[in-house]
Amino acid sequence: MKGGYGIIKHYRKGGRYISPAACVLAAGGLFLFCTIFFKLLVYFNQPDVFGLNPLIGKFSDISMVTAAVLFVASYPQYVTGGEGKYIERFVRRRLFDPRYGNPLGFREGELLPPVKCRKINRTTFELSIKAVSCTVENLLKIAPVISSSISGKYKQYAAVSSEADEAFNSVTYRIEDVMIDKSLTVDSVEGLKSPDKTKIPIDTETFIDLKTSGSILVAGKTRSGKTTGIIAILLAVLQFWRDRHGSNVIIIDPKQAELSRIPHAVTVNSNGGAEPIMEKMKEFEATMKTRQEVLNRLSEETGNAVKWWDADMNPSFLFIDEYVALKSLFPKPAKGDGGYNLTSFEGSLKRIITMGASAGCFVIISIAEASVEEGGLPSMLKSAMTTKILFKPTVEEARLIWNSERLKALNVGRTYGAGDCWFSSTDGVHDTPGCLHFPNMEFEVYAELGRLMTEYYAPDE
């Protein structure tokens, strides 16, 4: 309807956007009104002076049935369509109704893009908009507009990330309750225990999914909460206990700091050389190969690809603290060095990171500076690490870790405390970075880590 109220699929400058559901509901109301009108006519024309009562009676019945059909049709949109539909309506009105400024710059008569919103969990929705009559670039820019469009009972929700699909056909926004405190506070190590050995809890809504992700890169300035955050991960992993296939939890602390005092932690030798570390990495790699062989054999026997979590295996972790400092300890390759050199170290690490996840073997690398260039993390390793965490983030550091397109929706103005981070993982839910807080652990963290490490490696009785 040009210039009127009925714009549904096409943009009209002089019109107003009314959702299809509202149109159906309004039509239902109109038919209901007609039904009442016809019924009253019959009522007041009891003697049927004009002989029209049977005809009006028919109209009244048809109108009543139509009203009922329209009400039923609008019901799923308003009621069963649920919260996703509620958010869709706000977003459509903001983007499609000319009175709200036309942020996507539609021209007269242009087809309006489909908008779909689905609930992911208690505090998160995923909203996607097709790049119809607008570009992906423009859609990526309007995350703040989408945040401001959501009001009513979801006014505390905002678009925290936006990402274009591979084919550049649509943009998906992650809509989250940004006011709710999702952080996990635990007063004992058992609070970090996960019922599923493939899921490591981070907050009340988020976990690292080891089925879909691989090794973990942790970056952040000093005192940002890196070590505490990684310990929270290790405390969860240690409580899955050691499997019969040589799973490990190896802590490498090249700086001989607090972590090196944890039982079974590995550090440099008395000459400051990293030989013990190299040895431990080789051991970890050998176990990884043996585990993969077991899985291959099981797969051949069953005729199906057997995954580590189905093969009685628990996750195995190698944690390298202060990666850049460790790298600097290795000498360049030289004749007769027996493989103790930077090239072998990097080669071994690369193999574990790229091939380990399928055997349930994961690496956590911690770096104090996000630099991935000279002296930092080789970019190949950076792209192979599928879970990325930046504590107390700044945009400058984040750009070294993520594609800057992925950072557009993040609230860069916020101040972050220790334990706050930007987090991404290839789990289909956190593919674009979002903000979260690592567990608040109200117990002696290092003491508990030491106790669990001792128990983990205690010989079976």
Ligand X SMILES: Nc1ncnc2c1ncn2[C@@H]1O[C@H](COP(=O)(O)OP(=O)(O)OP(=O)(O)O)[C@@H](O)[C@H]1O
Q: Which residue numbers belong to the known binding site for ATP?
A: 220-227
Distance of CA 162 to the CA centre of its chain: 11
What's the closest the beta carbon of residue 185 comes to ligand X, in angstroms? 9
b/e 109-119 (16+ beta carbons within 10 angstroms → b)? ebebbebebee
CA 397 and chain centroid, separation: 20
Q: How long is the chain? A: 461
Of 11 and 422, the one with the shorter C-beta distance to ligand X is 422
Of the pair 222, 271, the CB lying nearest ligand X is at 222
For ligand X, the nearest residue by Cβ is 419
CA angle, corner 74, sides to 101 and 172, nearest 5?
45
- For residues 69 and 24, give the distance between their C-alpha atoms in angstroms, rounded to a whole number: 10
3 state DSSP class of 301: helix
- The distance of closest approach from Cβ of residue 395 to ligand X in the complex, given in angstroms and rounded to an integer, is 19
For the purposes of burial, counting CB atoms within 10 Å of the CB of 342, is it exposed (0-12), middle (13-18) or buried (19 or more)?
middle
Which residues are paired to 440 by β-bridges? Answer: 185
Tell me how far, at minimum, the Cβ of 452 lies from ligand X, in Å: 18
Annotated binding site: 220-227
Q: How far is the CB of 205 from ligand X (least distance, A)?
A: 15
Q: What residues are paired with 434 via a beta bridge? A: 423
Residue 266 CB, nearest approach to ligand X (Å): 17
By beta-carbon proximity to ligand X, the closer residue of 171 and 441 is 441
Q: Of 21 and 218, which CB lies nearer to ligand X in the complex structure?
A: 218
Radius of gyration of the chain (CA): 30
CB of residue 367 to ligand X, shortest distance in Å = 10
For residue 122, the tally of other CB atoms under 10 A from its CB is 10
**Looking at beta carbons only, is 223 or 399 nearer to ligand X?**
223
Q: Quote the distance between the C-alpha of residue 384 and its chain's center.
A: 18
Q: Which is nearer to ligand X, 215 or 224 (CB)?
A: 224
Beta bridge partners of 218: 366, 389
Residues that bind ligand X (CB under 6 A): 220, 222-228, 368, 391, 418-419, 438-440
The two three-digit tokens of residue 132, written as one number: 């119809």
